[in-house]
Amino acid sequence: MAKRIDVSGLNAYYGSFLAIEDISMTIEPRSVTAFIGPSGCGKSTFLRTLNRMHEVTPGGRVEGKVMLDAENLYGAGIDPVAVRREVGMVFQRPNPFPTMSVYDNVAAGLRLNGKYRKSELDDVVEKSLRGANLWNEVKDRLNKPGSGLSGGQQQRLCIARAIAVEPKVLLMDEPCSALDPISTLAIEDLIGELKERFTIVIVTHNMQQAARVSDRTAFFNLAAVGQPGKLIEIDDTERIFSNPSVQATEDYISGRFG
């Protein structure tokens, strides 16, 4: 099958510090890939290289190649802003624009992209909120501030905002770690639905979550603090959790370290 993402020989630095070294992996369209591994092994850093967010950090620098379909995201003449439209991101803490209404939060990305008629915006806002399983809860309060929603609703609002611009890929960095168990399950169910339309990459500290939501799992590790994080293996989730190829993966998932 054609790959949606094809990373090869990727290094990422903060100044002179090599945070992740020589990462290569492929990701298929309409799949969920989970990134797991101990704190500091570079999961978030790697995730942010996939939509050119890493370089926003002062000193942030990337070597290597990230192909999104036929395009190298680090090739000459590529506009990072356009990349971030194709590869959306959802963060650990729900971050709706605090002064904006529910409606305007979802419409924000579209408005940046150009002029839309009110009726077009209405359609996209409704479709995106439905897509994020939030419509029924907010349809009567579209003009109220997004920040007035519960934490779990805010996170689904952020997902609605991300999918409104129809990205190819959705990156999620521990999207449930600030949420209660019920809200977490709602997001996990949603991920299962969204993968019909989007390619999803999720960082999670929660092994059960990785096992529940993902098709593929990538285990990252680092030899010692100060050493670069590396991709140890990536395989079908079922295999990673039953019979991984590398002992360190087995040790990590069975809780012997990390």
Ligand X SMILES: Nc1ncnc2c1ncn2[C@@H]1O[C@H](COP(=O)(O)OP(=O)(O)O)[C@@H](O)[C@H]1O
Q: Which residues bind ligand X (CB under 6 A)?
A: 14, 17, 19, 37, 39-45, 57, 229
Residue 103 or 219: which CB sits closer to Mg ion?
Answer: 219
The full 3-state SS of the chain, as one line of letters, equals CCCCEEEEEEEEEECCEEEEEEEEEEECCCCEEEEECCCCCCHHHHHHHCCCCHHHCCCEEEEEEEEECCEECCCCCCCHHHHHHHEEEECCCCCCCCCCEHHHHHHHHHHHHCCCCHHHHHHHHHHHHHHCCCHHHHCCCCCCEHHHCCHHHHHHHHHHHHHHCCCCEEEEECCCCCCCHHHHHHHHHHHHHHCCCCEEEEECCCHHHHHHHCCEEEEEEECCCCCCEEEEEEEEHHHHHHCCCCHHHHHHHCCCCC
Q: Report the nearest approach of ligand X to the CB of residue 52 (Å).
A: 15
Is the separation of the CB atoms in 221 and 232 below 8 Å?
Answer: yes
Q: Report the nearest approach of ligand X to the CB of residue 35 (Å).
A: 8
Q: Report the nearest approach of Mg ion to the CB of residue 221 (Å).
A: 14
Residue 179 or 231: which CB sits closer to ligand X?
Answer: 231
- 41's contact among ligand X, Mg ion, none, with CB below 5 to 8 A by partner kind, is ligand X
- 124's contact among Mg ion, ligand X, none, with CB below 5 to 8 A by partner kind, is none
Q: Report the nearest approach of ligand X to the CB of residue 171 (Å).
A: 12
- Binding residues for Mg ion, rule: CB under 5 A, are 44
- 57's contact among ligand X, Mg ion, none, with CB below 5 to 8 A by partner kind, is ligand X
- 53's contact among Mg ion, ligand X, none, with CB below 5 to 8 A by partner kind, is none
Residue 29 or 40: which CB sits closer to ligand X?
Answer: 40
Q: Report the nearest approach of Mg ion to the CB of residue 202 (Å).
A: 12
Residue 44 or 153: which CB sits closer to ligand X?
Answer: 44
- 228's contact among ligand X, Mg ion, none, with CB below 5 to 8 A by partner kind, is none
What is d(CA 32, CA 170) in angstroms, rounded to the nearest whole number? Answer: 10
Q: Report the nearest approach of ligand X to the CB of residue 233 (Å).
A: 16
Residue 7 or 202: which CB sits closer to Mg ion?
Answer: 202
- 204's contact among ligand X, Mg ion, none, with CB below 5 to 8 A by partner kind, is none
Residue 58 or 255: which CB sits closer to ligand X?
Answer: 58
Nearest to residue 152, comparing CAs of 137, 165, 167?
137
